[in-house]
Amino acid sequence: MSIALINARVLTTQGFRDDLAVILDGRDIQSLLPLSEVPASTARHDLQGATLLPGYIDAQVNGGGGMLFNNAPTVDTLRRIGEAHRQFGTTGFLPTLISDDAEVMREAIAATRAAIEAGVPGVLGIHLEGPYLAPARKGTHDAGKFRVPDAAEIAMAASLDNGVTLLTLAPERIPVDSIRDLVARGVIVAAGHTAGSYEEIRAGLDAGISGFTHLYNAMSPLQGREPGAVGAALEDRNSWCGIIADGHHVHAGSLRVALAAKPVGKVFLVTDAMPPVGSDDPSYVLYGETITVQDGVVRNAAGSLAGSALDMATAVRNAVQMLGLPLAEAARMASTYPADFLGLSASHGRIAPGYRADLVAVDADLNVVGSWIDGQHAA
């Protein structure tokens, strides 16, 4: 049965509209109509003046709800992570496996496939962050897991057949032919945790790399005589950059530089979230080490940032308040642009007829007051 979402400020592809009802039919958006044209037989859901945005899409979710994907790569873990992040407006996400052994990667891919088959809300695919990374820019990753993949491991990494696969690697650490192979197999390849020179990053882009994982963090910086990974990312017109807008990972001024340098639509929000998001427990175990969030910052014993305690609702709020962006643009950075990066531009990230009914309603303070995944509502 169709449902009309009414009395909301709706972010359409043309901007905000206050005079439209959003008609949901099953898992999809059927139409956007003036309220006067909504059939009398259609059920109505009054949003009481809330703002209706495309559901947030997070391409980098290590954990949530007290669960870390690496520690328990199961369908139940993905369900609990999704539930934790949904309360902050995330209606689609890539569970993210940081560098680990091949068997754990295999288990994580199998769990993701099973979760999608079972219809676990929000699971769009998997993000393999490593293990093909640079020790010099390892961050909190275990460099003992790093390696160069052979043909069999490349095939395994690309084996998810019912969802998106995003793979973060250091371009200087593997042959460019391996990058081409991954891209040919349908994998979205991003550069990250890289010490690569500008030339090495540029070679990776030419081989098919289309994004950068948490821009500025764990990558060679922009300098006058050596542009590094950051310089290559900011210069390139076609690639996307994920950013962690938590006020800890990157200075707001640096994020504004990225927004000024990149074409509109090429910078999107990620959380890099760890288990404390959506949990009362500020601690979790990573690679056998107990890590505790302190004052909103997640660091390991060596002082490296170890993911974040950020949620997407806060990321959008920070984009507005910290970066000075209009809400419409901040919302697109959390929905439309990640959908485009992940190859989902025809089905996700927009409030328009024929698109998936993945939506988030927020109040004047951008707190989430309701969400829909595949047309199913959760207050």
List, as residue ranges, the binding site for substrate. 140, 217-218, 225, 249, 305-307
Q: Of 48, 53, 43, nearest to 328 (Cα)?
A: 53
Helix (H) or strand (E) holding 26: none
Q: Of 63, 71, 130, nearest to 279 (Cα)?
A: 63
Catalytic-role residue among 181, 272, 340, 358: 272
User: Which pair of tokens denotes residue 35?
Assistant: 């309220």
Asked about 280 being catalytic, the answer comes back as no
Within 8 A by CB and 6+ apart from 13, the residues are: 350, 351, 352
Please state the residue numbers annotated as binding site. Answer: 129, 140, 193, 214, 217-218, 225, 249, 305-307
The answer to whether 297 and 248 have CB atoms below 8 angstroms apart is yes
Write out 62-111 in H/E/C secondary structure: CEECCEECCCCCCHHHHHHHHHHHHCCCEEEEEEEEECCCHHHHHHHHHH
Q: List the beta bridge partners of residue 43.
A: 3
Please state the residue numbers annotated as binding site for Zn(2+). Answer: 129, 193, 214
The answer to whether 38 and 78 have CB atoms below 8 angstroms apart is no
One-letter amino acid for residue 367 of the chain: N
Residues annotated as catalytic are 272
